Structure formats: C-alpha cells, structure tokens
Amino acid sequence: TIEDMREVADLKDDFIAVASHELRTPIAALMGYLNIVNNPKLDIKDKIDVDDGIERQVKRLHELVEDLLAGGLIDSNRSVAVGEKIDFKRFVTEIVRDLEQSNDGRKIELDYKDESSDVKTVNCDANFLRRILNNIIQNSIKYSDKETKVLLNISKSQNKINFEIQDFGYGIDKSELQNVFNKFHRAKSNRNISGTGLGLYIVKGLVTSMGGDISIDSKTNVGTTMKFYITI
C-alpha cells in the first residue's frame, strides 16, 4: 500500500541519517586521535590511551561496515551457512568471556542445561553463531543498567540447540515487538541509544540460514528475553 511504501521510505531516511552519524562519529574521533599522536611531546601513558582509542574506533567502523555488508547479503538471499566442527562449550564460553572483558566486566551468567552437557563437537557455521550471540548479548548489555546481569541458557533437543538470552533492562513496548526484526527498525523508546537498526534484522537472517527460528518477549522496565534455535 501507499502507506507501507511511505513507512519504508521514512525508515530508509532514518537509517541514512543514523548510519551517517554512526560513521561520522568514529571518523571524527580517529582524526582527533591522529592529531594527538603526532604531538612529539606525548608521553608513554597518553600514547597508550590514544592507541586504545584508535583501536576502539577502528573496531566500531569495522562492525558498521560488516553490518552493511551482511544486510546486503541477506537482502539478496546470499547468506549461506557453512558448517564446521567446533568444540561447542569452549566456543560459547570464549564468546561470553570476551564480551565480559570488552564491557568492563559486565556479568553474563552462562547456564548449560543437563541435556546439553554431552554436546562436545557441533557442526555449524561458527562465524554466524558468533555474530548472532554477540549481537543479542551486546543489545542486552546496551539496553540495561550496569548493575543487572545478562543470562544465557543453552539446551539441546534432538537435532537442535536452543538459546535463551534474558536481560532485566529497559524493555520494548508491546506495540513494537512485531517490528523488531524488520530492517532499519529501532524502538522509539531507545532511539537515544546509538544503533543502525540492522542488528536484529541480520540476526534473524543468520538464524534462518542455520535452519532455525527466533522470537522475542519483552516488557518495558522489566526486560527482554530472546529465544532462538539452530539445527545441527
């Protein structure tokens, strides 16, 4: 309908504005850091701080570009999962540890159900699964207070591995839940927090590529629970 077309056009306009801001911010920061690092009087401590800042901003730019590329692949149905054997428990534990370290020690509580304890080697697309978990858990961290935990529960049923990520954060209004996996969509209540609106769209596309499905349950000021499974 015309109304739908207008809504898509508005979302694209919003995305272009947000993406431009998201790209401009790290570029401006990098230019500032480069001006500082060229100062011959810069001491060692300040140089280390600048190097850390440059690394953060380059990583941020890399993630933004990766989101844009992944979104394009999903749009064109060229996002294909490639299976490889991984030590499943070690793989997930390392993801959790890395996320805790990169988020100032934020606590992520990992729980393997008894029926998944026998899962040693799993054949799946490690890059896709890492991206899915990173995106969802980072969202849980971003949209909740630092004092709260993020819970990650994993269980196995037949040829599926089930994931549940729960936070106790700001939540999403019920009226917006049906749109959270749409391209460019950002919850109105959280638009003051940086983001492109591509993250969950990409997550859903990758989950689908891995033979799975994803759902969300959320209440404002209570928290959000994201559930998905992949086929192994």
Q: What is the pLDDT of residue 62?
A: 77
Mean pLDDT of 193-212: 83
| Residue 127: pLDDT over 80 | yes
Q: What is the pLDDT of residue 194?
A: 59
Contact indicator for 226, 214 with CB cutoff of 8 Å: yes
pLDDT 10s digits, 174-192:
888 888 888 777 766 555 5
| Residue 214: pLDDT over 70 | yes
| Residue 12: pLDDT over 90 | no
Q: What is the pLDDT of residue 223?
A: 94
| Residue 171: pLDDT over 60 | yes
pLDDT 10s digits, 135-169:
899 899 988 998 889 999 998 888 899 999 999 99
Does the pTM surpass 0.95? The reply is: no
Residues 6+ apart with CB under 8 A from 153: 111, 113, 163, 164, 165, 166
| Residue 22: pLDDT over 70 | no
pLDDT 10s digits, 77-119:
767 777 788 888 889 999 998 888 888 888 999 887 655 555 5
pLDDT 10s digits, 41-79:
778 878 888 888 888 788 778 777 777 777 777 776 767
Matching residue, tokens 């500082």: 36
Q: What is the mean pLDDT of the chain?
A: 81
- What does the DSSP assignment read for 177-223? GGGTTSTT---GGGTTS---S-HHHHHHHHHHHTT-EEEEEEETTTE
- The packing angle between helices 88-102 and 126-142, to 10°, is 40
